[in-house]
Amino acid sequence: MIQENIRACMQTLSSKLSSETLAMVKRKIENADDRIAEEIIFAKYDEPWMILIFSVLLGSLGVDRFILGDVGLGVCKLLFGWLTLGIWPLADIYFCYKKAQHRNLQRVMQILADHNIA
């Protein structure tokens, strides 16, 4: 892949993946074709910073879990989160942020796997 496409992919992914996984993803993208760059850039990703804001402001209502697609955990958090005296919503700030990054990594890896990039 040409450097311009690699740079564009990494710029797109820099706020959506953890810093630990960016280097690994960059190595895989460097071995990919240029046509994959557009697919990676325009894929739908979760915004970890938005999940973080929802977790801080509305986490006790389970909104962060609903956004991530964990409806069951969202309902449980809404109904029973108060039983933990705020510990569950507080700890879930970290876990929801990390889950958003992990889901983004899975999306990138799936795009690369669809094009047989190991």
Number of domains in the chain: 1
Q: For residue 90, is pLDDT > 90?
A: yes
pLDDT at position 33 is 85
Q: How far apart are CA 60 and CA 63, in angstroms?
A: 8
- Chain segment 34-53, per-residue pLDDT in tens: 889 899 999 999 999 999 99
pTM of the model: 0.89
- Residue 114's pLDDT is 92
What does DSSP assign to residue 43?
S
- Give the domain extent around 100: 3-114
